[in-house]
Amino acid sequence: MLWSLIFIANMVLLGIPSALLFIPWCWMTGNVLPLYKATRFMLSSSCRLAGVRIRAEGLDRVPRGRACIFMSNHVSNLDPPALISLVPGRTSAFMKRSLMNLPILGAGFRQGEFIAVDRTGSRADAERSVAEAQRVLAKGVHITTFVEGTRSPNGRMLPFKKGPFFLAMDAGAPCIPVSIHGTETILRKGSLRIHPGVAHVVFHEAQDPAGFATREELMRAVRAAIARGLPQWMTEPS
């Protein structure tokens, strides 16, 4: 548990002063970038101190000057820190509404324009989340989403949720497929124990929604790209 304790201790030691300083700054000035940059540093340094090396490939494939939707597989709770610390510029993300109500953290998520998601299955709730995501993209802020909707229990790819592809087709934002592996053994699902290791994050060529007739075609293209960056066993049926 030593590495997990180091990770948590660094998050607390950096997180508390960052929140006390930059959340009020954001309220007063409307400038969220200092809070966002402090959060990225907190995530990346916590991983590094806990023995997690993040190895990125393909960042040069990300279009510059355009808000994109980063679409990744999901195998560990370490995926968000690993991915968000790499995305160029500023990114928002979909997040359970309950997390937006947490003391202090919730305020930071709201200031960072993270998008609350209700898992009720309601069409109205889904439409509200998509409309909020479109507003964020229109401001030039990226969206990061784990398109399976939950962590895989065994590392193998799960079916994709449709919502991110509705968003992509409506907004016309480039989709960046992202493959993550290695984290499934560093921090296993259901465990709090971090094992030092390498987290591999591969960014693939952008998929332009305008080049696809339907969201199903776009979904298949994104899934195929993500699969190419994963070990073969992770792409096999469960």
Provide DSSP, 123-170. Answer: HHHHHHHHHHHHHHHHTT-EEEEETTSS--SSSSPPPPPSHHHHHHHH
Residue 60 lies in a domain: yes
Model-level pTM?
0.93
Residue 155 lies in a domain: yes
CATH number at 106 reads: 3.40.1130.10
Number of compact structural domains in the chain:
1
pLDDT digits (tens, 9 = 90+) for 148-183: 988 999 999 999 998 899 999 999 999 999 999 999
pLDDT digits (tens, 9 = 90+) for 49-101: 999 999 999 999 999 989 999 999 999 999 999 999 999 999 999 888 877 88
Which residues constitute the domain of residue 187?
Answer: 53-235
Residue 133 CB-density burial (10 A; 0-12 exposed, 13-18 middle, 19+ buried): buried
Residue 161 lies in a domain: yes
Q: 207 falls in which pLDDT band (50, 70, 90)?
A: very high
Contact criterion met (CB below 8 Å) for 94 and 129: yes
Residue 76 lies in a domain: yes
Q: 2 falls in which pLDDT band (50, 70, 90)?
A: very high
Residue 150 lies in a domain: yes
Say whether 20 sits in a helix, a strand or coil.
helix
pLDDT score recorded for residue 153:
92
Residue 189 lies in a domain: yes
| 202 pLDDT more than 70 | yes
Residue 75 lies in a domain: yes
Residue 47 lies in a domain: no
